[in-house]
Chain A
Amino acid sequence: MKWINRAALAVAASGMIAAGAQAATLDNIKKEGVLKCGVSQGLPGFSNPDDKGKWTGIDVDFCRAMAAAILGDASKVKYVPLSAKVRFTALQSGEIDVLSRNTTWTFTRDTNLGINFVGVLYYDGQGFMVRKKLGVTSALKLSGAQVCTNTGTTTELNVADYFKSHNMQYKVVAFENSNEVVAAYDAGRCDVYTTDRSGLAAQRTKMKNPDEHMVLPEVISKEPLGPAVRQGDDQFANIARWTLNAMIIAEELGVTSKNADQMKSAKNPEIKRLLGTDGKYGSYIGLDNDWAYRIVKQVGNYAEVYDRNVKPIGLERGVNNLWNKGGILYAPPFR
């Protein structure tokens, strides 16, 4: 059976070669004139096609920002909708250049899959939704509750951990599809509906009377969602990382899509560096000096992107606010 071992080795090796291969991603994108961006199959606020097939969402706007930085045109993105199962392979195999698909940054994903996360675009966490008339104000009072959730996701495990660590009883009612979960909760089959807080907000609008429900303050898991690129191309990883940072820094500095042109003549040295009127920072990542200006001009800073996409589904900034405004959004200095 030696040949089986050898074949298995060959398979593993070819997988690793593909995953770890050095590729000038930037050159490919410039040559093809389009950025291939992996997105979800539809998650409101993050990446969702509308009835015209136009993609919108905060993840989508990150793709657009990268296209604006690299190709000079935010519309030069090819969106590749990916299921949760195939998303990492698509990135490893080069089918997409960047994965911007509400993906939680975890240790194993960052180290073991041949991909690198470049930052956090949205800090999510698992929360609970209950009916207001239940009179519960804290998740610690949910002992004995029937909990509706999706099967086979980390959400189910997180709930188990949370209830066990607080010595509370609960009963899980799990479904495959989130529409079924919402319908079951809405029909009163369970007291609590749990998933990521971004999901809770988006799903609440599907209920018969959205105002009858509330999200409890407890956040029981860390779900930092961020874009990822292939491992082994540091230059491209830098571009992705600093595209994200540039959006956050632009908000910090008050540079918006509307005032970007005036800001070019601002005195503030960090604004000058960001918008490319001082130094040659673009050349360090293989781009021209206007790259960050184009991001802000064509897509907007982080606040604009957030308000355009995530706010309409009912999520306030919360922890996703800037570090100096009560949140944890923090970008290294631009110098």
Chain B
Amino acid sequence: MAMDDVVTPRYAPGQHPALPAPASTVGVVGWLRANLFSTGPDTSLTLVPFGVAFLAAAWFGGVSIMGSIVIGILIAVGVRIVARVAFGNPVIDNTVLTIVGAIIIFLIADVLLNFTIFDAVWSASGRADCAKSPDGACWGFVTARFSQFMYGFYPDAERWRVDVTGIFAIALIVPILFGQGRIRAYAVGLFLLAFPIVGFILMYGGLGLEIVPTNKWGGMMLTLVIAMTGITASLPLGVLLALGRRSDMPAIRNLCIVFIEFWRGVPLITVLFMASVMFPLFLPEGVTFNQLLRALIGVALFSAAYMAEVVRGGLQAIPKGQYEAASAMGLSYWKSMRLIVLPQALTIVIPGIVNSFIALFKDTTLVLIIGLFDFLGTIQTGLNDNAWAAPNVPMTGYVFAALVYWAFCFGMSRYSVRLERKLNTGRQH
């Protein structure tokens, strides 16, 4: 090929594409040659520690061959790192970190997979079955209590109402997340105005449906109620607060600043304690205020304050020219905000908004301390059950909780990535 190029040039001068690097200088072989075996002394610096460590581990340490190889590699790499630090020998680069990382991942995966899959008990009817394999998960515990994890103490016969509410929610959320144009606008309208009422009647009761008091709500259902209320209330409230904080009217501006700084200044756990411990003492004797509603309002106001600051960040990133251009078009304040400023500002702060949502979703677990059984709470209650008192059950419950929370949070995060890509917010200016 090279000779052909010389004889019949197929490229205009200066247009020849770069040739690939020689095979011996790229990839694994290239890396090894460059970093571990470049010179005679270099090669010995690699092989001697490896050999010594391998032999020591295999013969004197009683370690298996594979284990000895791993130990040998680790020791060899360690020697190279020391060599580099001590003599400035530039043989270590990210690849070493990659190998170390891979080994760590392997060790973690080994533990995790053994616990969750290989040593796990898949069907069990009580502690005796679970105790058969104490080093693995006992998924029988999760399947036995699964419906309680989902619905809490909601009466069996009425659980279809929760399901219907869930289906409504999904039917509205899907077009909001993935739909476009008018369909999406209708879905948003229904979700904000009609859905809370319908959902409340379905889940709480009324209009001929049996009343299910909120102290029977629990599990994933309660977690989602709190998280969705917080999320749907905090965004509009947060936008209004952010606009208010940037308002020219001192009364509104100061009001918003006081509100935001108050709620941001206290931890959520304090808000929940205030709502459940102090607040009832201020009410007249005999007047009680639903515990769940108290928590919901607390969570919504708390997250609205955070959301306001996220949105304000977006508003400040919009160049002044945009505001002026909107005024020059003769748009009113609200129109210019709705049509020009907010669409741009909110697009910029999608990562921040989703960040707040994810944090809020995880913060819902705090309601446990005021006696509400959210998803994590019902799992913890299950751990107290004597029938399931096996050593591996608590770990199983917590691992399951972690997986579910992770799935939700990761889902939100992926959606935000998708949205950013669609709106192309990561564009280079």
Give the distance in Å from the alpha carbon of A183 to the alpha carbon of B213 in the complex: 36
Stretch at the interface among A38-46, A66-74, A119-127: A38-46
Chain B interface residue count, Cβ-Cβ cutoff 8 angstroms: 43
Stretch at the interface among B44-52, B185-193, B247-255, B276-284: B276-284
**A53 contacts B385, C-beta separation under 8 Å:** no
Interface presence of A276 (CB below 8 A): no
- Tell me the residues in window 252-304 of chain A with beta carbons closer than 8 Å to chain B beta carbons: none
Chain B residues with Cβ below 8 Å from A78 are 213, 215
Chain A residues with Cβ below 8 Å from B391 are 183, 186, 206-208
Chain B residues with Cβ below 8 Å from A94 are 280, 285-286, 288
Among B145, B382, B389, the one with the most A-chain Cβ atoms within 10 Å of its Cβ is B389
Interface presence of B223 (CB below 8 A): no
Known: A85-B369, A183-B391. 6 other contacts (CB 8 A): A48-B386, A80-B371, A85-B277, A86-B277, A92-B280, A206-B393
**A92 contacts B385, C-beta separation under 8 Å:** no
Among B144, B281, B393, B394, the one with the most A-chain Cβ atoms within 10 Å of its Cβ is B281
Given A44-B386, A206-B390, A312-B386, A83 and B369 touching (CB < 8 A)? yes
Stretch at the interface among B71-79, B116-124, B225-233, B373-381: B373-381
Stretch at the interface among A14-22, A156-164, A235-243, A318-326: A14-22
The residue on A at minimum CB distance from B152 is A53
**A86 contacts B216, C-beta separation under 8 Å:** no
Across the interface, B281 reaches (CB within 8 A) one of A18, A51, A179, A202, namely: A18
Chain A residues with Cβ below 8 Å from B152 are 53
**B215 contacts A41, C-beta separation under 8 Å:** no
**B216 contacts A83, C-beta separation under 8 Å:** no
- In the A-B complex, the 10 residue pairs with the closest CB atoms: A53-B153, A93-B280, A42-B384, A205-B389, A42-B381, A206-B389, A179-B394, A21-B285, A89-B277, A44-B386
**A83 contacts B281, C-beta separation under 8 Å:** no
Interface presence of A49 (CB below 8 A): yes
**B285 contacts A18, C-beta separation under 8 Å:** yes
Interface presence of A28 (CB below 8 A): yes
Within the complex, what minimum Cβ distance (angstroms) separates A81 from chain B? 5
Among A14, A28, A94, A207, the one with the most B-chain Cβ atoms within 10 Å of its Cβ is A94
Across the interface, A44 reaches (CB within 8 A) one of B131, B278, B377, B385, namely: B385
The residue on B at minimum CB distance from A312 is B386
Across the interface, A81 reaches (CB within 8 A) one of B213, B285, B371, B382, namely: B371
**B371 contacts A51, C-beta separation under 8 Å:** no
Give the distance in Å from the alpha carbon of A206 to the alpha carbon of B396 in the complex: 13
Give the distance in Å from the alpha carbon of A92 to the alpha carbon of B280 in the complex: 9
Interface presence of B291 (CB below 8 A): yes
* 17 A/B residue pairs, CB under 8 Å, sorted by A: A21-B285, A41-B377, A41-B381, A44-B385, A48-B381, A48-B386, A49-B153, A52-B156, A78-B215, A81-B371, A81-B373, A86-B277, A86-B369, A89-B277, A94-B285, A205-B127, A313-B386
Interface presence of A214 (CB below 8 A): no
Within the complex, what minimum Cβ distance (angstroms) separates B79 from chain A? 35
Give the distance in Å from the alpha carbon of A18 to the alpha carbon of B140 in the complex: 47
Across the interface, A83 reaches (CB within 8 A) one of B153, B283, B370, namely: B370
**A23 contacts B377, C-beta separation under 8 Å:** no
Chain B residues with Cβ below 8 Å from A28 are 286
Interface presence of B368 (CB below 8 A): yes
Interface presence of A95 (CB below 8 A): yes
Give the distance in Å from the alpha carbon of A205 to the alpha carbon of B128 in the complex: 11
Give the distance in Å from the alpha carbon of A92 to the alpha carbon of B288 in the complex: 12
**B382 contacts A93, C-beta separation under 8 Å:** no
Interface presence of B303 (CB below 8 A): no
Give the distance in Å from the alpha carbon of A95 to the alpha carbon of B145 in the complex: 29
Interface presence of B205 (CB below 8 A): no
Give the distance in Å from the alpha carbon of A16 to the alpha carbon of B207 in the complex: 40
Contact flags B142-178 to A (C-beta < 8 A → 1, else 0): 0011001000111010000000000000000000000
Give the distance in Å from the alpha carbon of A312 to the alpha carbon of B127 in the complex: 14
Interface presence of B37 (CB below 8 A): no
Chain A residues with Cβ below 8 Å from B131 are 208
Give the distance in Å from the alpha carbon of A83 to the alpha carbon of B216 in the complex: 16
**B389 contacts A51, C-beta separation under 8 Å:** no
Interface presence of A79 (CB below 8 A): yes
Interface presence of B383 (CB below 8 A): yes
Interface presence of A82 (CB below 8 A): yes
The residue on A at minimum CB distance from B144 is A51
**A183 contacts B280, C-beta separation under 8 Å:** no
Interface presence of B273 (CB below 8 A): yes
- Tell me the residues in window 311-334 of chain A with beta carbons closer than 8 Å to chain B beta carbons: 312-313
Interface presence of B134 (CB below 8 A): yes
Contact flags B15-34 to A (C-beta < 8 A → 1, else 0): 00000000000000000000
- Tell me the residues in window 281-302 of chain B with beta carbons closer than 8 Å to chain A beta carbons: 281-283, 285-286, 288, 291
Across the interface, A89 reaches (CB within 8 A) one of B276, B383, B389, namely: B276
Within the complex, what minimum Cβ distance (angstroms) separates B254 from chain A? 20
Give the distance in Å from the alpha carbon of A54 to the alpha carbon of B127 in the complex: 20
Give the distance in Å from the alpha carbon of A18 to the alpha carbon of B283 in the complex: 8
**B382 contacts A51, C-beta separation under 8 Å:** yes
Within the complex, what minimum Cβ distance (angstroms) separates B156 from chain A? 8
Interface presence of A211 (CB below 8 A): no
Across the interface, A80 reaches (CB within 8 A) one of B215, B286, B369, namely: B215
Chain B residues with Cβ below 8 Å from A205 are 127, 386, 389
Given A83-B370, A89-B277, A48 and B282 touching (CB < 8 A)? no
Contact flags A201-217 to B (C-beta < 8 A → 1, else 0): 01001111000000000
Chain A residues with Cβ below 8 Å from B383 are 42, 179
Within the complex, what minimum Cβ distance (angstroms) separates A58 from chain B? 14
Give the distance in Å from the alpha carbon of A51 to the alpha carbon of B151 in the complex: 11
